[in-house]
Structure 1
Amino acid sequence: MTQLPVRRPQRGITLVESLVAIVVMALGILGILGVQMRTLTDTQAGVRRAQAIRLIEDLGERLQNNPDALGNLSAYTATPTSSDNCASTACAPDRLATYDIKQWRTSVSDALPGSQVIVFIPQGGPRQLGVLIGWSETRYNQDGKSFTTAEKAALTAPLTVSGTNSAGAAVNCPANLICHLQYIQPTQRCTPWGLGGGALYCPN
């Protein structure tokens, strides 16, 4: 009588089980990478907003150092292409304002490449200066592709800000940009010379 072979219990894992394990592990790694990328994007957005706030604070400090910033608000709303070098020589308040805004706009371009800046005198607030800085956020949809124009507009809509300038016109955040709007208070340490006004007297 022929003796049947004894079946031994299965040991190890089959090829199918190995493939399933690899697929599950790959999906887990992709999920972790997706969370990390989203966290990195949110962190970058926070860093850019912090940079924008610090840049506006820097402009506010420049206004504080100008003895007649309040009397030269219109100079801060311009985009000068040239100015006196007020870092090495003393400048009058109007020339200092032109120098400060030119240097400040350069600082914004260096810190936030591709950004846009709008400096305006708000309506009903001649003793204030509105500063709006807009920057671009690089984001991708769930398929790893860049957002379309409509998707970018929908994404940035809750994050847009707007104001009103002295002429009553709206000052809006540029399309597809995320903006930060802040109002700063200028100073005026110069006083009119004499009761009739005229030239300004600026004490040292």
Structure 2
Amino acid sequence: MAHMNRSDKRRQSGVTLIEVLVAKVILAGGLLGAAAVQLNALKHTDSALMTTQASFIAYDMLDRIRANPAADYAGQSAGSGLHGVLGQDLSDFKRNVRQFGGASAKGSIAINERQVAITLQWDDTRAGGQWQTFSLTSQIASGFAVGAS
């Protein structure tokens, strides 16, 4: 058994090449799988980032509404020639929504008595091209202007 003749050595060297080929095929499949997982992770990370940015914009607007209780945020739009704090707040909100979600993104503010609802919608193309929505609803102190949604 310690001594092999020439024909046994040739046969064994062929088996080694097949083993290397099988190992390379398995490694290639594993690398392709890892790449697919990485691409999926990038897609979902970007989608989560967009949702986080939407929440920052909505909370910023809610803080502005609480800081300026006499203004009617729901009854006005940023393009209606408003001046002062209300006009600046609505202009900033509109600009923030467009910078975050592009020209097709939408933001709305609805105030019903003491309840404020701020909604942002954007096209999340990296997450399957679906429209995503973030809504923030909060109670505010009395004395705020009531506006139509």
Tell me the TM-score normalized by structure 1. 0.55
Alpha-carbon offset, residue 57 of structure 1:
0.8
Alpha-carbon offset, residue 31 of structure 1:
0.6
Deviations along 1:165-188, one digit per CA (max 9) or x if unpaired, are xxxxxxxxxxx3111111244557
Paired residue for 1:177, among 111, 119, 131? 131
2:74 and 2:109 in contact (8 A); partners too: no
Alpha-carbon offset, residue 63 of structure 1:
1.2
1:129 aligns with: 116
Does residue 45 (structure 1) correspond to residue 51 (structure 2)? The answer is no
Identical-residue share of aligned pairs (%): 23
1:115 aligns with: 105
1:21 aligns with: 23
1:1-204 to 2 correspondences below 5 Å: 6-9=6-9, 10-11=12-13, 13-14=16-17, 16-69=18-71, 72-76=72-76, 78-80=77-79, 82-84=81-83, 91=84, 96-113=85-102, 114-121=104-111, 125-139=112-126, 176-186=130-140
Identify the structure with bigger relative contact order (alpha carbons < 8 Å, sequence gap 6+). Answer: 2
Alpha-carbon offset, residue 20 of structure 1:
3.0
Taking only aligned residues, the RMSD between alpha carbons, in angstroms, comes to 2.8
Letter in 1 for 2:101: L
2:147 aligns with: none
Tell me the TM-score normalized by structure 2. 0.72
Q: Name structure 2 gaps, 5 residues minimum.
A: 145-149
1:68 and 1:187 in contact (8 A); partners too: no
Q: Name structure 1 gaps, 5 residues minimum.
A: 85-90, 141-146, 153-175, 191-204
2:114 and 2:142 in contact (8 A); partners too: no
Between the aligned partners of 1:32 and 1:138, the Cα distance in structure 2 is 23
Q: CA distance change for structure 1 residues 117 and 66 in 2, over 3 Å: closer, same or farther?
A: same
Between the aligned partners of 1:183 and 1:80, the Cα distance in structure 2 is 24
Between the aligned partners of 2:88 and 2:141, the Cα distance in structure 1 is 17
Deviations along 1:8-64, one digit per CA (max 9) or x if unpaired, are 4323732x5444333221111111111111122222222111111111110011112
